[in-house]
Amino acid sequence: MTPGNSIVPVSARIPVSIIERLFASLAFVVSALSGAIGAMMMQQFLARLRTNETAGLQAFYTGAARINVVVGSVLTIAVFLCGVALLVCLIRMFTNNVKASPPGLLLFVIGGFSLVPALLTGISVYLLMESVVGPQMAGVSSVATSISALTVASIALTCLLILILGAFSFISFSAKSGRKYSPFLLLLVLEIGTISAAVAFLRLLQICLTQTSTLFW
C-alpha cells in the first residue's frame, strides 16, 4: 500500500429484517384489500341496479355510500398499520441492528402498487356517480363496461400483490448494512398517499350522504 492512499470500506451485505418488512407488508396488504373489497361491492351493486332498473336516486346514493365507507374505513386501518411500520423504521434508524433494513426504493415500489387497487375502485366510484349527475344524465349503463373492467383489474391486482407481499415478507434476502433513511422517508410518502386516498373516499361518502336521507347501512 502506498502512502497517502486510503481504502474505501465496502458495506457488508447482511440478511434483511423480517420484522421491518412484515409491518410494512401488512399495511400494503390492507391497502390493496381496500380496493378489492370495494370492487366486489361495486360488482354486487351493479348487479342489483340491473335487476332493479326503477331504483331511485335515494337507493343509488345509499349503495354508493356503503362502498365509500367500507373502502375509506379499510384504508384508515392501513394508515394505522403504516404508522406502526414508520415507528419500527424510526427505532431501527437509531439503534444497533444485526439485520439490515430493506431498500427504501423497493418498499416504495411495492407500496405504491398496493394503492393501485384502491385507485381503480375510486375511479369506478367516480364514474358511477358522474353517470347520474347533471341535466343530461348518461346513466349507469353507459359506464357499466368500464366499471366492470376496473373492478376486475382491482381484484386481480390485489391477488397478485398478496403473493408478492408474502414473498417479500418471508423470503430471505440481503441488503447493505448500516443506517438507512430512505425506508422511513419513502414509507412516509406512502403514508401520506394512503391518508389522501382514505380522505378521498370519505369525501365521496359525504357527497353521497348529502343526496340521501336513507341510512346507508
pLDDT in tens, 48-90: 888 876 567 787 888 899 999 999 999 999 999 999 999 999 9
pTM attached to this predicted model: 0.87
Q: Is the pLDDT of residue 173 over 70?
A: yes
Quote the longest CA-to-CA distance of the chain.
Answer: 89
pLDDT of 10-34, one tens digit each?
467 888 888 889 999 999 999 999 9
- Are the beta carbons of 57 and 211 closer than 8 angstroms? yes
- Compute CA 158 distance to the chain's CA centroid, rounded to the nearest angstrom: 9
CA 55 – CA 53 distance, rounded (Å): 6
**Domain spans, the chain:** 16-173+194-210
User: How far, CA to CA in Å, does 2 sit from each of 5, 8, 10, 90, 118?
Assistant: 6, 14, 20, 42, 60
Does 195 or 58 have the greater pLDDT score? 195
Q: Is the pLDDT of residue 169 over 50?
A: yes
Nearest to 71 by CA among 127, 14, 31: 31
Burial of 82 (0-12, 13-18, 19+ CB in 10 A): buried
